[in-house]
Amino acid sequence: MIVLTSLLFVIIMGCEKTDDPNNGGNEGEDHKKYSVMVSCDPSEGGTATGGGTYNEGTSCTVTATAATGYTFVHWTENGEEVSTEPGYSFNVHCDRNLVANFSNSGGGEDPKYYWVNLRANPEEGGSVWGDGRYEEGQSCTIEAAAGDYYTFVNWTDANGNLVSTDFSYTFEVERTCTFVANFSHNSIGGHEYVDLGLPSGLLWAVCNVGAANPEEFGYYFAWGETERKTYYDVASYEYAKGDDLFHPQLTKYCYNSSYGYQGFTDYLTALLPEDDAATANWGEGWRMPSKEEWEELLNHTSLAWITQNGVEGLFCTGSNGYSLFLPPAGFYSEDYLWYAGATLNYHTSSLYKGEVNEPWGDGPDCAWDFGGSSSGGSMATGFRYAGRSVRAVCAKPQ
């Protein structure tokens, strides 16, 4: 019995849980574990120790030891300097990937090396190139490219001091340094625009007024009206009296007294800001493009009929490589939507002035609009009281 009791005691003692040096001594408590990886650059420059798996919140010390003929420079992570001390201590709260950097110091004759670190501000604003390790005095070129609906602004140093306004900047490396590529979001009032490199410098909205993305049709407006409605005809048109489809009696934007109510004329041939659906719905800075500005888009971009995110439409690519998508929203007559998904019918801000002899509406009862289909785009005229979609434009911000 004495022997059996002693044997049970030994077994029980042998099965007791011992404290893990990385778990704070709390038995049975679950801990998140993180990996600390260490490496050397160059690999022959020395050794790095202290890597491994650690419980969250525990202290870790990584140590760099230079090989003969080398000198420790600093610890970096993702190219960013984190410590200049060979022994670097920190509490573990995430996975780490640390690099011990060494320079060849054999007699002072071998070159020194430094790090060029780059980042984008904001991070989603664009891409940067040229970071890495460089020999002292070596030429380095850093470059930035803006992402969709962003514009490159400038390079600044880590302290925010201006370095260059050119997207490509070349300099001689004399020390470890950090540069920030700053980008601005292409938007006014929360609505994005794209610069197509047009001769006028005009900027075009990315989507239609009332749409949340480039493929949506958005809202429909009668020409000169700023609110959408459910029925589009002469009788409901804000600037007409009566219901004569082919000869309405206009009360605004009329240069021909035979079309004007009781002979009314005002000789206005372009929308005023208060009658511009883009301005009224999106705010100051936005407006509807004129006939001439739609023609500039036609003449200075390459056109292709494509399918984008499941929607067919006209794709306009500028000389600078940026592009614009125009969905075929069709148009409203009375309460019926015609040719949605097949044709483009976009308002301009320009009143039709009788430049050509149309078979219908050859007077101020018509306005210019931009039409198009899979065969391309062109200018056309249409009754002012029909409901069409609106694509807004703006000038370059100063």
Cβ atoms within 10 Å of 132's Cβ, excluding its own: 12
Total-model pTM: 0.64
Cβ atoms within 10 Å of 14's Cβ, excluding its own: 7
pLDDT at 70: 84
pLDDT at 311: 97
User: CA-CA distance, 166 to 155, in Å (whole number)?
Assistant: 8
User: CA-CA distance, 333 to 352, in Å (whole number)?
Assistant: 19
Token pair belonging to 144: 């930035």
Residue segments in the chain with a per-residue pLDDT below the cut of 70? 1-30, 105-110, 355-361
pLDDT at 4: 38
The rounded radius of gyration (Å) of the Cα atoms in the chain is: 34
DSSP state of 365: T
pLDDT at 29: 54
Token pair belonging to 4: 């059996």
pLDDT at 143: 97
pLDDT at 140: 96
48-66: pLDDT as tens digits: 999 999 899 999 999 999 8
Q: Which of 238, 277, 270 is nearest to 349 (CA)?
A: 270
pLDDT at 298: 96
Name the residue ranges covered by the structural domains of the chain.
33-107, 113-185, 191-394
| Residue 229 identity (one-letter amino acid) | K
10 Å CB burial of residue 251 (0-12, 13-18, 19+) is middle
pLDDT at 109: 54
pLDDT at 23: 44
pLDDT at 246: 77
Q: Which of 121, 128, 117 is nearest to 176 (CA)?
A: 117
